[in-house]
Structure 1
Amino acid sequence: MKNSILLTLLILILSFSCKNQNKNSTEHMVILTAPSFKEDISNGNVQLIDVRTPEEYNDGHIQNAVNIDFLSDDFSDKFDSFDKDEPLYIYCRSGNRSQKAAKKLSEMGFDIIYDLKGGYLNYE
């Protein structure tokens, strides 16, 4: 009897712990493959953000992408004019910075963030 109560308590504690971990994750981010990303942005009427440096952006970028450098001091401020209720499509060079950017953007209140799997390197 004692063991079953302890086991039940342990299961409840682990269950609660897992739920709290999910709240800290980027619940609003979806990683898209290059073909899905291309299809979604094909109409051109999306919020498309390149989070690479201006130098990387100038070396080549996806058409209609706005460059907002994730490493810049004013990264968050540059999103003041964006609609938080509309999806954001973001990418970087390989997917690392855009995942960090997606987490930050989610914390800023953006509802849906689509991240390009493998970044711009995977897009071409």
Structure 2
Amino acid sequence: MEQRETSTGTSAPDCSISRVEHALGVLRGRWKLLIIHHLLVRQPRRFSDLERAIGRVTQKMLIQQLRALEADGIVHRIVYPEVPPHVEYELTAAGRALATALDALHDWSVQSCHVDA
């Protein structure tokens, strides 16, 4: 991995902006971070549980966001062969790895609330 010099004069691994753009693209969407958050709190979760937990999301939008997260390898969909259908969602290893980033985002939001007050 290439090294680049930081503003402090130290070397740091080169992080391509395209990787950051890709990561932001995976998380882009009004509801994706909330879905991931709720799955980090408790999983697996049924669709109806997620729908109740994220009260303002429409059913259509929740389906779209879950499908996109599944396509990107963040969420795993488990279908149980029952009538009526029983579907649950859980985070993959890649999804669980976002816990650190979400914790940092939470901490930042707490700190920024105190700065503005």
After TM superposition, the score normalised by the length of structure 2 is: 0.29
Higher helix share: 2
Say which structure, 1 or 2, has more relative contact order (CA 8 Å, 6+ apart).
1
After TM superposition, the score normalised by the length of structure 1 is: 0.28
